[in-house]
Structure 1
Amino acid sequence: MIFISAYGMVNALGNNLDDIAHNLSMAHAPGMTVSTQWLTDKSPLVVGTVTGELPTIPPQLVAHQSRNNRLLLAALAQIKPQVTDILATYPSSRIAVILGTSTSGLDEGDRYLNDCHQNKDNQHWHYAQQELGDPARFLSQYLGTQGPAYTISTACSSSGRAIISGARLINAGLVDAAIVGGADSLSRMPINGFDSLASLSKQRCQPFAESRQGITIGEGAGLMLLTRQPGNIALLGFGESTDAYHISAPHPEGKGAGVAINQALTAAKLDPQDIGYINLHGTATPLNDEVESSVIQHIFGETVPCSSTKHLTGHTLGSASIIEANLCALILERNLPLPYQDFTDCPQDKTLTPCGLLLNSQPLNQPRLLSTSFAFGGNNTCLIIGTVS
């Protein structure tokens, strides 16, 4: 059994677990703000930001200076005591660092390029800042681990893949502990890229709503410490698939998504009705919500409570899986009310296949939560978190 020995995160809901738990219960996201700095035409756009001061990068690791890595340090600070204990318990070669990202330090690279175009001298930029493998390399060097350390970039399922990879390394006997998760900071490239795909909402996203227009991009980071040391919360099962139907559109029947969900249920030895809550991928794009509601209804019917939390965090791209898995762990550990789908500003889309979409908050009635992530290229992950009886 793989246990979640500790977890931490930062996102638009807050900078620590206490604030995130409070704001999640109140359906309040203080980091959801309007900005004119991201779109090329400077038009106003809602983004999910991490507010407040972030830890600094140590001078000896200045080549890894990026907001992405500072977000990671903010998440790490919340689990530092448990990580310190693990570092003292196991050889450094038996501790893995597996992370996911979509942007890494791309924003720093973008700013450097702008400086070059304006003939400004920028001696503080290093290629490592934006290299996709940098988050795991940085965190491993920061902690002094010598075990497997690599970064996965499979778009919106990146950190889900990182969690699964860490669990598999432990199951294979290659490591004793794995620090897994991911980070993504705001960057002009993905924001304008989604805008060019007509998948970006200028207002806060409205998953499963009648006039949903697309995603709200957010930033954030999350980490989990996975071990075999018995604890209160475990990674009960996981599944993954790659249907490769289309580079940016989901399979119309959600085949790959269904495969990942069924794999996770099988691995956890659970029936669909054993799940107490589903955190949906729920991006608020027309196609994703249509396909996902159909897949959920086909597997779970209409009785398992489900909702998307992306209107509270934004779509945090490569860190979405870890943040939403950690939200599930937080709901479970602190007995929080289940987050409901907010249709205050726009009515629910009644043309979507009915599933167990929550319209009002309710308590968790079974201590097993499932979280889905469906990425570009048909890259899908599913995680089940729960207590062990």
Structure 2
Amino acid sequence: MSVEGVYVAGMGLACALGNDLSSSVAALARGGVQPTPVAVSESVQWPVYKLPPQDGSWTERLERIVRNVAAQAGEGAGRSCPLFVASSSLDIGHMEREVQDLRLGGDLQDFAGLVARALDWQGPVFTVSTACTSALNAVLAGCDLIRSGEADEALVIGAELGNRFTVAGFGAMQLLSPESAQPFGAGRSGLVLGEAVAALRLSSRPARWRIAGGSNVVDGRNPSGTEAGAVIAMCHEALAQSGLGTQDIDLIKVQAAGSPVNDAIEAQALKQVFDALPPLVSLKSLIGHTLGASGAAELALLVACIEAGAWPLAGYAIDDELGIALSTQAPARLRNMLLNVVGFGGGHASLVLQDCTA
């Protein structure tokens, strides 16, 4: 039997701001934290928004953080529902530090197996690794299972833990800022990576936050950047699945990571979708670009900010030439939010999140 509604019944987050949602929101309200330099060679280092330090090996750290964020999201129906593990770097850090497999080989499901064992998971386990759109695509896959009646609940874990390989790769492509991330900023010079582990518990049972629809559009013409046509298509498809028009969207969580080119493409594409742009919000200047975890991490952090009455502020000058602005406060009306994520390989994903109490 199919069901109509899918809801976010619980959320958890560990990121550079803190080990849980409440401490993350508190740190955000204080102005955030500074990234930490990560050395990729003797003479090269890049800033990264790292998780708070913890003792133990890479695997022990992963297990501890995963259990923490899953507990924040609540038990729900238990550990027999589908588990979606979303990541871009997967277990590269484990291979760097513990296995010493410099080929960075292994099975695609190995990382999900580590996460499942940490949670003593009894249900089916899926890996979603579609670069930066991984977590959002995992949410969409979980929603499909619930809407089809194949599951009452699903748990999505988005995880990106530190490794030098990812930092070195982005640095070699000249995509990183040597100082700070400034999404849509006048002085933006590249993105800053971030670590995060987030949990979203999806359910068919009504809750405050409803996933009204979403989309995933792949356009590989620009495999390492944003494609305007795909941004336009993903927004229209997400709205169509939600049964909403552009005038119904009260807030857009943008992808903007600080890229001089990609930020401009996204801004121009959004202005083609919306006659009048809704308020915009960005989170990457506070937690960095958490790659495959970003869809879950940014959703959880944004919802926690809304519930706590806090608001993420940019703290830098916005580029006037883009013709946009980041909102300095929560919109007076906030019912329907569009959350956008863009990733390598031409992935463009969008989600409509609805506040059922508004």
TM-score norm. by structure 2 comes to 0.90
Letter in 2 for 1:110: E
Equivalent residue number for residue 124 of structure 1: none
Letter matched to residue 154 of structure 2:
A
Aligned-partner Cα distance in 2 for 1:72–1:104: 13
Distance 2:178 2:109 in 1: 31
Q: Which amino acid aligns with 1:2?
A: V
Name 1:334's counterpart in structure 2.
Answer: 308
3-state SS, counterpart of residue 82 of structure 2: strand
For 1:318 and 1:70, the matched residues in 2 are separated by 19
Query: Contact conserved, 2:7 with 2:203, CA < 8 A, in 1?
Result: yes
Which of 379, 384, 388 is the equivalent residue of 2:347? 379
Deviation of 1:304 after TM superposition, in Å, equals 0.7
For 2:179 and 2:147, the matched residues in 1 are separated by 43
Question: What residue is the counterpart of 1:78 in the other structure?
Answer: 72
Residue 364 and residue 383 in structure 1: after superposition, are their counterparts in 2 closer, same or farther (change >3 A)?
A: farther
Displacement of 1:269:
1.5
CA distance in structure 2 between the partners assigned to 1:317 and 1:285 by the alignment: 14
Cα offset, 1:341, TM superposition: 2.8
* CA shift in 2, pair 1:211/1:387, >3 Å: closer
Amino acid at match of 1:274: D
- How far did 1:375 drift? 0.5
Counterpart of 2:337 in structure 1 is: 369
**Aligned match of 1:348:** 318
Counting only pairs closer than 5 Å after superposition, residues 1-389 of structure 1 correspond to structure 2 as 1-26=5-30, 28-30=31-33, 32-35=34-37, 37-53=38-54, 65=59, 67-79=61-73, 82-83=74-75, 85-87=76-78, 92=80, 95-112=81-98, 131-251=107-227, 254-337=228-311, 339-343=312-316, 347-352=317-322, 354-355=323-324, 357-358=325-326, 360-388=328-356
**Structure 1, 236-245 or 313-322: larger mean CA deviation:** 236-245
Classify 1:237/1:364 alpha carbon distance in 2 versus 1 (closer, same or farther; 3 Å). farther
Return closer, same or farther for 1:331/1:302 CA change in 2, 3 Å cut-off.
Answer: farther
Q: Give the 3 Å change call, closer, same or farther, for CA 68–241 of structure 1 in structure 2.
A: farther
Query: Per-residue deviation at 1:49?
Result: 1.0
CA distance in 2, matches of 1:10, 1:20: 8
Cα distance in 1 for residues equivalent to 2:355 and 2:230: 27
Unmatched tracts of structure 1, length 5 or more: 58-63, 118-126
Runs of 4+ in 1 over 6 A off after TM superposition: none
Q: Deviations over 1:36-56 (max 9, x none)?
A: x432244443210111447x7
Distance 1:134 1:144 in 2: 15
Shift of 1:157: 0.5
Aligned residues: 352
SS of match in other structure, 2:67: helix
The question of whether the paired residues in 2 share the 8 Å contact of 1:100 and 1:319 is answered with yes
TM-aligned CA distance change 1:44 to 1:143, over 3 Å: closer
| Cα separation, partners in 2 of 1:332 and 1:135, compared to 1, 3 Å | farther
Q: Aligned partners of 2:71 and 2:153: how far apart in 1?
A: 18
> Any idea what SS the aligned residue of 1:239 has?
strand
For residues 102 and 39 of structure 1, the distance between their equivalents in structure 2, rounded to whole angstroms, comes to: 19
Change (3 A) 1:141 1:107: closer
User: What SS does structure 2 have at the residue aligned with 1:173?
Assistant: coil
Instruction: Give me the whole-angstrom Cα distance separating, in 2, the residues matched to 1:376 and 1:320.
Output: 13
Q: In the TM superposition, what is the alpha-carbon distance from 1:3 to its structure 2 partner?
A: 0.9
Contact 2:66 2:197 in 1 (8 A): yes
**Cα distance change on mapping 1:17 and 1:136 into 2, 3 Å:** same
- The answer as to whether partners of 2:231 and 2:270 remain within 8 angstroms in 1 is no
Question: 1:161-193: CA deviations, max 9, x gaps?
Answer: 111111111112221210013100121111111
Structure 1 residues 8 and 313, CA gap change in structure 2 (3 angstroms): same
Gaps of 5+ in 2: none
Q: In the TM superposition, what whole-angstrom CA distance separates every residue of 1:213-260 from its partner, at most 9, and x where no partner exists? A: 111011001011111111111112211111111221222xx1112221
Aligned residue type for 1:280: V
Mapped to 1, the partners of 2:53 and 2:98 lie a distance apart of 24
Aligned alpha-carbon RMSD (Å) = 2.5
Q: 1:69 to 1:154 in 2, by over 3 A?
A: farther
**Stretch moving more, 201-210 or 154-163:** 201-210
Q: Report the CA distance shift for 1:69/1:275 in structure 2 as closer, same or farther (over 3 A).
A: farther
The C-alpha deviation readout for 1:72-128, integer Å capped at 9, x for no partner, is 22311312xx32x4128xxx3xx10012111122122123476x89xxxxxxxxx99
